[in-house]
Chains A and B, each alone.
Chain A
Amino acid sequence: MEDLLHMSALIQLRIDGELHELEVLPNATLLDVLRDEVGKKGTHMGCRTGHCGACTVMIDGKVAKSCITLAASLPRATITTIEGLQQDGEMGPIQQAFWDEAGLQCGYCAPGILLSTAELLADNHQPSAAEVDQALAGNLCRCTGYQSIKRAVHSACVRMYPDQETGIEEG
């Protein structure tokens, strides 16, 4: 049994396209590793309880709250942070849409909300207003009142899929 117990875990993460081999402590969260070991400070620490969603990243294409994800439990995974949404050093379509529609005010929640938007729009090219609400249910914003965020999601959808009609009402 003793040989199954380890003081740390070795994990391989492809983070925003770059491969990292990391040795992590048993109780380290993915958030700690991203910010402190890899320097991905775009991923924000909010509540550490899983309520606010500011720390949201994608793990293998699916959103997760990195503050309540045990890093050791990801022996091999692909991670996308807010920094991975840029394209060739410019803002990607989702980022540009949030910028243009003022889908953020203080911006603390924005990294998480953009990642949740990214997962929604990856699979669903014509989300309804209800589907947008569902996709963003795990992210809190205390500034915008969410209306400009919904406009931004609509705008991002139009940029990414110009030939599709979206079901989101224009604000």
Chain B
Amino acid sequence: MSLYPMYARPRSVEEAVGLLAGLSSGAVVVAGGQELMPAVNSGTLMPEVFIDVAGIEALRGIDFNEGVLSIGALTVHRELQGNALVGEHLPLLANSASQVGGGWQVHNRGTIGGNIVAMHPLYDIAPSLLALEVELEIADESGVRTTAFADVLTDTRHGLGSDSLLVRVLARPQPSGSCWGYQKFKSTGGAYGSANAAAIVQLDGQSLSAVRLVVGAAAEKLEVIDLSHIVGKPWSEDVGRTIEAACREAISQPLSDQQGDAEWRRAMAGVVARRAVQQAINSQREEGAA
């Protein structure tokens, strides 16, 4: 291997995973580069080989077939915000993509695949994907496998491992009649969140019949919050306090970093979670009133 980094631009998934299998862990996959290049610039990451997957057609495009939305790993945040299929079937994802930091510049180049593979606890898209219970199509030399997103989430920030390539994200539409909320608590406009929460809520009249709630940016790993004990109840301030308490309990090891210290993060996780559920319910009421 050369002392200088090398570059490869595979034209197919097979070529890319062949390269990954044959190279050491010093090879990195680059798509939009928005996660990777800051680390390369600072010298904290010194790849031996850049495997540029931007030329692989199979990683592009958004289509809807047999009730499943298939989103190519190279889909950038700006496409998620504006795509009609995503807007219709996964409005929660479209909204959280619009809240990614860094401005249009990052939204124009950052990809859903890079966002997932980075496994960065502060990122915006992952809580929504976990709330939506998406599956991932992942390729390696032995072929393509489909895995639940929840099963590949790690707290190592090492993504999928050194020999796999994320090909597509598969999502079922948000349940009909459900409502959603996404809340990001941040100190300044473009900043990372100090806590964020994605909620998908189903109502039966005034009562909460199902709540799927994911809290991010407060701990190394996303937390799915068990809210089975509030199902069947109508929204009240008391239910809100119960949600906050459930989050504080679930976040046993809060992050403590530039985004805020541990105890505050734990508290804010509860606040954003309550607000996300409230946002969902309010949107339903507005729709009903309209």
Contact = CB atoms under 8 A, between A and B. Distances in A.
B33 A68 contact: yes
Interface in A70-93: 70, 72-73, 75
A140 B103 CA distance: 10
Interface in B104-145: 104-106, 108-109
Contact of B15 (A4, A27, A73): A4
A70 B7 CA distance: 11
A138 B9 CA distance: 29
Contacts of B189: 133, 137
Interface of B: 2, 4-10, 15, 18-19, 22, 30, 33-34, 36-38, 40-42, 47, 49-50, 52, 54-55, 78, 102-106, 108-109, 189-190
Contact of B37 (A56, A69, A136, A140): A69
Given A50-B106, A65-B106, A73-B52, A5 B30 contact: no
A75 B106 contact: no
Pick the most buried of B38, B40, B55, B104: most chain A CB atoms within 10 A of its CB.
B104
Contacts of A134: 104
A68 B50 contact: no
Contact of A25 (B4, B9, B33, B104): B4
Contacts of B2: 7
Interface in A1-27: 1, 4-9, 25-27
A29 B37 contact: yes
B33 A27 contact: no
A73 B105 contact: no
Nearest to B39: A49
A142 B135 CA distance: 43
B38 A137 contact: no
A53 B105 contact: yes
A63 B38 CA distance: 17
Pick the most buried of B8, B37, B106: most chain A CB atoms within 10 A of its CB.
B37
A11 B13 CA distance: 22
B6 A119 contact: no
B109 A69 contact: yes
Nearest to B31: A73
A48 B41 contact: yes
Given A9-B9, A75-B9, A50 B104 contact: no
